[in-house]
Amino acid sequence: MNVIKRDGTEVKFSSEKIKKAIYSANNEVNENSKLLPEQIDTIVKQVTAKCSALRRPAGVEEIQDFVENYLMASGKNDLARRYIRYRYDRAMTRKRNTTDARILSVVDLNNEEVKEENANKNPVVIPTQRDYIAGEVSKDITERYLLPPDILEAHKSGIIHFHDADYFVQHSHNCDLVNLEDMLQNGTVINKTMIEKPHSFATACNIATQIMAQVASCQYGGQTISLTHLAPFVEVSRQRIREEVKKELEEFPCFFLPVRDGVLERDPQPEIDEYIEKVTESRLRAEIKRGVQTIQYQINTIMTTNGQTPFVSINMYLNEARNEREKADLALVIEEVLNQRIEGVKNEAGVWITPAFPKLLYVLEEDNTTEDGKYWYLTELAAKCTAKRLVPDYISEKIMLQNKIDKAGNGNAYPCMGCRSFLTPYLDENGKPKYYGRFNQGVVTINLVDAACSSGGDEKKFWEIMDERLELCHRALRIRHERLLGTIADVAPILWQHGAIARLKSGETIDKLLYGGYSTISLGYAGLWECVYRMTGKKLTEPEGKDFGIAVMKKLNEATAKWKAAENIDYSLYGTPIESTTYKFAKCLQQRFGIIEGVTDKSYITNSYHVKVTEPIDAFSKLKLESEFQALSPGGAISYVEVPNMQHNIPAVLAVIRYIYDNIMYAELNTKSDYCQVCGYDGEIQIVEEDGKLVWECPHCHNRDQSKLNVARRTCGYIGSNFWNQGRTQEIKERVLHL
């Protein structure tokens, strides 16, 4: 059994330290207030049992809470007060050097919390450590100077979560849709170097990767580009290649001339034209392959300033094309992207494995969702890719057009800005929809489970608490918004001056982009499942539970609508992808309310509106139920179904895909893609328990060395490949199959 210290390091549990602390307090009170040695032993045993029952490493603060509770229960109030005073004095001493200690623990690779915070960051390498060190400083300044005490206390207590405090000291934003079309067609500037319009598809792909790397270094969230913005350069390359082939033929004119006895037998031009087109298309395909390969390999080999591969999503939407020629060229690019992702990338051992990025978004449309559709072959390819490499995810154009209605009354379809964050529809000054070049200002999440537990199950009190907590979130979101106000375009030229988001002038502020719906700011929510169960005793899958869940979602939407109307800021409701926060919230709930069966008895809480991972439900029922909640989460949401290895059952994958098209806006299939570098096993790597901690193990050779295991799992809408904290690991372990 282990303990997480305050600096994040993980050490072996020691009951002797608990005993020593109690004896220290016991020695400073009069005889009538003292505990007998056997009484102290009993309390130590009770605290030890309490920690063991958590089935995860206990935090030092948790352990001290347990000690306080048992001391007070013993009736020795003076002793309890002395222990509390001792604890307070120690806290004041630590407060002066906590940040220093945490930074040193990051450098020395002892900080377990940081090591498991992000499943796509390698905490061993210097760039990641540099980012974490800067993050510790940012969090320290944020806590001491930038957040009011009540918001900070709510954040630390797990009542709300103020996201990305490790970047908040800077004037940076969350995620965006990169306006790649503007940057490629009109040129851009990278590191004070002019990048002009590319003259080939391969060059356009190379420039796109440079843009993505620069954008990732100037923000802290995800970014999405569209293949549609690269598609026009296929025709540019086609024209260039065709001219090259013609010139080659001019050097050897006799090659096609059908001459006999000095007489031209027939017109050779049709054969020449056919040859030119055949060679042109062959060479064009080769260039498309090189260009796509550039994107895949550069994204997976680049490490940005925050110590990770750029969090990039690539949108594949045929109906974005401006004409049929461009759509056909876009289909060529999509086909190549899917083929290369099916192949994967090679790991250190030279074995093909599943990369985490780029995340692929495949839009389902009328002509790629039926077997007689023109582009059905692409959907078949996408299904094979999903079965082997977990992506692409699927966006239903049909349902999105119903859900995303703009002020003109028209439906809109466009990609998310990362794993699930969606913009709300926006019309520019000409009344035309605008998606690319827009962004999200940041997120604050409300812990719905805490609100339910704080109410004691009393519905009237619950709604009162919700009002209080929502206003707390509102104030926290205002702080995020105001942190961006006054930001000058010069702080991130690639974003604000050179087209990724805008074309502002040097010295101009971004303020006008923060109002009127151009950007969004997100109220996140987590734990709807546990909230509903605590309040009604029913599951979200039961009618009474579902009705209460819908009422909660409507309450959240009413709040964002009220704030938006009053302030002209586009507040939007967002189903938060809480990777590390799911663990933090669970620990805080257990500290505040103890173990409540079905509510706080896990080391994680359920993401957003999702059906709990342990709940038996079939794939189609899950998607149908969650579609109703997804429609009430306009700022972002994604649903998934957990499936076994489907590589030999592609028709079943296609059946789910078609169901997504007809029923839900955005969904994915979760499967597994693993490899053991020790023995070559490529089946599912298992999760086992070791000394009270969950670890990954190869079932074939029992290798537990994480550095020699390649494990890919869907975490929060995106793929994680660097392992996870204990809460998320337990959640992954307990997932049931839906198909």
Residues with catalytic function: 174-175, 417, 419, 421, 440, 574, 579, 717
Residue by residue, DSSP assigns 661-724 as: HHH-SEEEEE--EEEETTT---SPPEEEEETTEEEEE-TTT----GGGEEEEEE-SSSEE-S--
Give the chain's end-to-end CA distance (angstroms, integer): 36
Q: In which region does residue 55 sit, left (phi positive, over 0), alpha (psi from -120 to 50) or beta (all else)? A: left
What number of residues does the chain have? 739
Contact 587, 708 (CB under 8 A): no
Contact 300, 312 (CB under 8 A): no
Distance CA 115, CA 705 (A): 15
Whether residue 358 is preceded by a cis peptide bond, meaning omega within 30 degrees of 0, is yes
DSSP reduced 3-state for 245: helix
Distance CA 591, CA 568 (A): 39
Strands 10-12 and 352-353, sheet pairing = unpaired
Strands 345-346 and 312-316, sheet pairing = unpaired
Distance CA 59, CA 726 (A): 13
Burial 121-157 (b: 16+ CB within 10 A, else e): bbbeeeebbebbbbbbebbbebbeebbeeebbebbee
Q: Which spans in 31-125 are helix H?
A: 37-53, 60-73, 77-95, 98-107, 112-115
Strands 259-260 and 263-264, sheet pairing = antiparallel
Token pair in block for residue 63: 């352990």
How many helices (DSSP H) and strands (DSSP E) are in the chain?
24, 25
Q: What is the dihedral of CA 588, 589, 590, 592, to 10 degrees?
A: 90
Q: What is the dihedral of CA 566, 570, 576, 580, to 10 degrees?
A: -90
| Angle formed by the axes of helices 15-26 and 60-73, nearest 10° | 50
Distance CA 275, CA 294 (A): 29
Contact 419, 717 (CB under 8 A): yes
Strand partners, 675: 710
Closest CA to 601 of 586, 579, 582: 586
Strand residues in 530-585 grouped as ranges (E):
570-575
Token pair in block for residue 101: 């200690």
Distance CA 26, CA 40 (A): 9
Find tokens 């940040």 and name the residue. Answer: 99
Whether residue 392 is preceded by a cis peptide bond, meaning omega within 30 degrees of 0, is yes
Distance CA 465, CA 463 (A): 5
- The DSSP 8-state label assigned to residue 7 in this structure reads T
Distance CA 382, CA 318 (A): 14
